[in-house]
């Protein structure tokens, strides 16, 4: 974390972990795409060392932050539910607007809601929506309601679910501004 935070243009890092499956997701955020590109050579050995420490194989995706809304800072032990989707070709902008105009307000009504984000990869047509809750218990308590919202929203937006995961927010040091 200190090595990344010292790099020009880095605006933070987060770490999601699923202790049962062993799946970990490290996210770094950058002020500009240029700052990200300029950091790639420096990040590669850090990523490899982290993969060795976690005992896994890294995969790298580049995402655009399309929406970010925080109700309040996430406390230690927060829970995160993430859903990866495939967006039909040519419908990414409509999907982003639908998420901002309809989905975000419904997520805010969920018990223990803390924040939500939507990341997109326009080239592949993929997106990942994540919702952070005050605790793993809060995430569990609203699972049925959140699932119903997800199914209805995906149907309305015309997207296909690729994957879903639940995680503990083990590290949250992102200084990304509100983008909702």
Q: pLDDT for 160-174, tens place per residue?
A: 999 999 999 999 887
What residues have CB less than 8 Å from 51, skipping those under 6 apart? 57, 58
Dihedral, CA of residue 85, residue 94, residue 178 and residue 173, to nearest 10: 20
* CA 4 and chain centroid, separation: 18
| pLDDT reading at 47 higher than 80 | yes
Residue 54 has a pLDDT of 82
Return the pLDDT at 6.
84
Pairing of strands 79-86, 126-133: antiparallel
In order of their start, the domains of the chain are 2-54 (no CATH), 64-168 (3.30.70.100)
Least confident residue range of 46-50, 105-109, 111-115, 121-125? 46-50
User: pTM higher than 0.75, yes or no?
Assistant: yes
pLDDT at 179 over 90: no
Sheet holding 126-133, edge to edge: 24-30, 10-17, 160-174, 79-86, 126-133, 113-121, 64-70
Binning pLDDT at 50, 70 and 90, where does residue 93 land? very high
């Amino acid at each position: 974390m200190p090595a990344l935070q010292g790099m020009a243009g880095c605006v933070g890092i987060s770490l999601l972990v699923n202790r049962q499956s062993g799946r970990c997701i490290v996210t770094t955020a950058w002020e500009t795409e240029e700052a990200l590109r300029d950091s790639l050579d420096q990040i590669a050995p850090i990523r490899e060392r982290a993969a060795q420490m976690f005992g896994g194989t890294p995969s790298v995706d580049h995402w655009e932050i399309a929406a970010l809304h925080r109700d309040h800072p996430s406390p230690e032990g927060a829970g995160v539910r993430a859903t990866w989707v495939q967006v039909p070709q040519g419908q990414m902008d409509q999907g982003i607007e639908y998420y901002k105009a309809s989905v975000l307000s419904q997520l805010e009504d969920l018990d223990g809601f803390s924040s939500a984000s939507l990341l997109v990869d326009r080239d592949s047509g993929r997106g990942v929506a994540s919702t952070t809750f005050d605790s793993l218990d809060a995430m569990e308590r609203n699972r049925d309601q959140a699932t119903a919202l997800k199914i209805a929203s995906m149907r309305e937006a015309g997207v296909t679910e690729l994957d879903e995961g639940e995680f503990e927010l083990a590290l949250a040091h992102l200084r990304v501004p509100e983008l909702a």
